[in-house]
Chains A and B, each alone.
Chain A
Amino acid sequence: GQQLNQSPQSMFIQEGEDVSMNCTSSSIFNTWLWYKQEPGEGPVLLIALYKAGELTSNGRLTAQFGITRKDSFLNISASIPSDVGIYFCAGQAYSGAGSYQLTFGKGTKLSVIP
């Protein structure tokens, strides 16, 4: 099956610093998504990317869909303590029989030191 390589696995940063994480795949995806999961909760969608080269922002978050459609990155600017959580990339591709499927990366655990 398709696999996503997400890096880094974990990050410890000072409050106010910028953060960058990325995902790469051996397969092409139609859509790239970034989710955030806080402890004890389900993943929440942050940003969705639909076209190769697309750059999208959501507040302090910026994400890009790679030109090759095999990678994406997420940047967080001026981090704050509530940014703590696990960030997941997910790629969506056609899985046959009229259905699409999400494949998730293994997550980047972000810790912010006040």
Chain B
Amino acid sequence: DTAVSQTPKYLVTQMGNDKSIKCEQNLGHDTMYWYKQDSKKFLKIMFSYNNKELIINETVPNRFSPKSPDKAHLNLHINSLELGDSAVYFCASSQEPGTYEQYFGPGTRLTVT
């Protein structure tokens, strides 16, 4: 069974489009995260949700909007996609906010053309 899953695995789209990435965890964790990994493999946190409440919102464009319908899901919606949004996006979860043991999903490779 996959602990943290993301869909889609790959996403290729054109500039200006709106797209969503979905994340689900079956670990019963309270906290979920979105990270962005750029072409140089640098991992940076974007958002953190605890019990469906936003607790970390790093400096990301407001074109990025996370939505947590329940504790097990944290989706990422991106409006008006730009070339610079191309990256791998990772979802992660942990039992408590910021707990060291964060479990990562397999990633979604987004390519904006």
Contacts and interface: CB of A to CB of B under 8 A. Distances in A.
A99 B55 CA distance: 7
Number of contact residues on B: which range applies?
Answer: 20 to 34
A45 B99 CA distance: 12
Given A40-B106, A41-B107, A42-B4, 14 more contacts: A33-B100, A42-B104, A44-B104, A45-B100, A45-B103, A48-B101, A95-B56, A99-B98, A100-B99, A101-B45, A101-B48, A101-B56, A102-B100, A107-B42
Nearest to A93: B98
A104 interface: yes
Nearest to A98: B97
A99 B43 contact: no
A31 interface: yes
B92 interface: yes
Nearest to A44: B104
Which residue among A42, A94, A107 has the maximum number of chain B CB atoms within 10 Å of its CB? A42
A48 B100 contact: yes
A48 B44 CA distance: 19
Interface residues on A, range: 20 to 34
A37 B99 CA distance: 19
Given A48-B101, A92-B100, A43 B43 contact: yes
A45 B106 contact: no
Interface in B91-111: 92, 97-107
A106 interface: yes
Contact of B42 (A31, A33, A106, A109): A106
